Amino acid sequence: MQQSWAVSGYQIARQSIALTLSVLIIPFATGSLYGQNGGYAPLDPPALDQLVAPIALYPDSLVAQILTASTYPQQVSDADNWSQQTAGMPPQQRADEANNMPWDPSVKALTAFPSVLDNLARNTNWTAALGNAYYNQPGDVMNAVQAARVQAEQAGYLRSSPQQRVYDNGGLVTIVPVDPGVVYVPYYNPWRIYGGWVSPYAGFYVYPPPPGVLIGVGLGFAAVGISLGLFAHFAWGYSNWAPNWRGGVVVYNHNTYISNSTTVINRGNFGAYNRGVFEHAGPGVPANFRPPVTRATASFSPGPNVNRAAPNAFNRPAPGVTRPPAAVSPAARPQFEGGQAARPPAPQAHAAPPAQAQRPPAPQGHAAPSHPAPAPSKARPEEHEHH
């Protein structure tokens, strides 16, 4: 009996020690996911390729919206729940309600694309990782998108179609809708379309082709596109977003847009980990790839982030206005995920214009043009680079 008690006591002691060690070790193990002191751990090309593969072949403006919205994973989840609950609401009323929600403009913009919003919400771990990567390595993430497009082009899967135009400007690949008022979101399996170039992101759920999707060469498109008419007059509408490929940032209303989500600002600084990882040959970098943005030309480079504007400052500078850097202390950062900020404000910061009282109804959808799109050419206009 005494021996049995001694053995039991020994086992209890071992379990107590193990529990104590696990409690002490877990914070260090968790911290390693984000780098030292809970910060951001920079990613290499293969890891960045995994993150951008599911969205790299979307139209440019939609990519810009997704990169910014992914820094607000909780808002994305909330918006997706709202989107499903209001699916039967009249389109005009639905657009008006989205405008009144307390979400970042990029999240509001995605309410026009319910399937995209749902994909981001369902793959929440991937979404959060994408947001962290874009916030800390925006130039590297932009180059990863370009690398994926180059790879898809070389594999023969990315080309112009009746739904969208693909432009190749000396290695800089841009994608725009054929009709600026109608956007078709391409369907594709991100782990197959690049010809085995990128490995699947762990846990990422790939939706089966939605009903009515016409599968072409690599990309599938719905028979009816998404009309932007109901959303066009809002300041956060589709046409107000674009990637600045040469600067390595997202542009909102002609101005660099910086997320104020605490999901990312507490784990790094905007652009502080741009490392130019696609400037050298290696795993995850296509052969002879020429990155549009380099570490030397990136709008934001490693260093303290002093380029944050005041909360809710949607700065829309007049053409030709150059914004000087404005030093803002870390203590001035808003401690909520819903705040938004743009690049340093001009002396006169302009708020986004209020929605118009009368809005013309837009058609519910447009079928793809019946005429075939011209074959993609290699000489393509510079205006599609979104400077």
Model pLDDT for residues 145-164, shown as the tens digit of each residue: 999 999 999 999 999 999 99
Amino acid identity, position 151: Q
- CB burial readout 315-333, b (16+ within 10 A) else e: bbbeeeeebeeeebeeeeb
Q: What is the pLDDT of residue 386?
A: 52
pLDDT at 359: 36
What is the Rg, in whole angstroms, of the alpha carbon atoms belonging to the chain?
A: 23
Torsion angles phi and psi, residue 385, rounded to 5: -85, -15
Task: Output the pLDDT for position 91.
Answer: 87
Which residue, among 338, 258, 203, 352, has the nearest Cα to 67 in the 3D structure? 258
- Residue 357 has what pLDDT? 38
pLDDT value of position 249 = 97
Token readout for 281 is 């040959």
Cα–Cα distances in Å, from 208 out to 136, 150, 187, 194, 211?
32, 25, 9, 18, 9
Question: Tell me, what's the pLDDT at 73?
Answer: 97
For residue 284, what are its two tokens? Answer: 């995850």
Nearest to 98 by CA among 83, 113, 84: 83
Angle at 380 between CA 375 and CA 383, to 5 degrees: 130
CA proximity to 290, closest of 282, 299, 278: 278
Rounded Cα distance between 254 and 123, Å, is: 30
Report, as ranges of residue numbers, the positions in the chain whose pLDDT lies below 50: 1-15, 17-37, 304-384
Structure tokens at 277: 């990882």
Number of Cβ within 10 Å of residue 59's Cβ equals 20
Q: What is the pTM of this model?
A: 0.73
Residue 217: what pLDDT? 55
pLDDT value of residue 223: 83
